[in-house]
Amino acid sequence: MHWAEQRPVRLLVALSGFFLADAMVAEFAGPKVFSLEASLGLADMAWHLLGVSGTLSFTVGVVFWPLVFVLTDIINEYYGSKGVRLVSWLTALFIAWSFVAAYVAIHLSPAAFWLQSGQSSGVPDMQAAYAQIFGQGMWLIAGSLLSFLTGQWVDVQVFRRIRRLTGERRIWLRATGSTAVSQLFDTFLVLYIAFVLGPQHWPMQQFLAVALVNYVYKLLAALLAIPLLYGVHAAVERYLGAADSRRLRAAALG
């Protein structure tokens, strides 16, 4: 059988493709900040923490990252830490290349007719809008890539340790446990680099308060994603079959 026809190979390609696509969407959709309360049709829920106040407003990227958490755990379950590292490094490389490509695209001279082409839709300058959406700051890009790789490394280590203790049982525990620890690093690191070290120079109280609120949101999202995790896990088991599934999980555990 050709390697491209082998189900474990096809599964890794499919999981990697979804992982990469979702991470890219999260990165490029990220500049938009949305109101969770308004999106759910609720009144604003003000929070007060460390002398800082705010509402439940997040970047759109947090909507898509929970799927990355699920895919990380599935890849870890069947392909081990080497599989997660491969997919994570490839994703970071493609994200970095995408930002380079966006930088080039922004700095290409726009056609004169295109600049005013969005006026009827309320966009007076298409070039300015395009640059604002796709031209994320270098501090945010650096923070995002570094926090992503750090979070993935921590996720792999915690997942493996919990799995060695629980065996094949309690998928939810190793998935949510690894996500809880890895997102603590990811959330605080990206905000610190982007907004404390970056040009905005947030005071420490604001950084800690916003980071804690974002972390709690991600933790709740990981808990809500548990049914999705079990659904994907069951679909993978059916696709692979018992023999391939046992072989892959045993090899992943190393």
Fold annotation for 3-105+132-253? Arp2/3 complex 21 kDa subunit ARPC3 (1.10.1760)
Q: What pLDDT score does 137 carry?
A: 66
Task: Find all residues with CB under 8 Å of 148, minimum gap 6, and list them.
Answer: 23, 88, 91, 92, 95, 186, 190
**Whole-angstrom Cα distance, residue 227 to residue 171?**
11
Helix (H, G, I), strand (E, B) or coil at 34: strand
Instruction: Return the residue matching tokens 């555990």.
Output: 253
Do 184 and 158 touch, CB atoms closer than 8 A? no
- Give the residues of the chain that fall short of pLDDT 70: 136-138
Contact (CB, 8 A) for 96 and 25: no
Average pLDDT across the chain, whole number: 88
- Length of the chain counted residue by residue: 254
Contact 71, 15 (CB under 8 A): yes
Phi, psi of 172 (to 5 degrees): -60, -35
Task: Please report which residue ranges of the chain form alpha helices under DSSP H.
Answer: 7-29, 36-39, 61-107, 112-115, 126-134, 138-166, 171-191, 204-224, 226-240, 242-253
Separation CA 216–CA 212 (nearest Å): 6
Distance CA 227, CA 153 (A): 24
The string of DSSP letters for 92-103 reads HHHHHHHHHHHH
Taken in order 232, 235, 240, 246, is the CA torsion positive or negative? positive
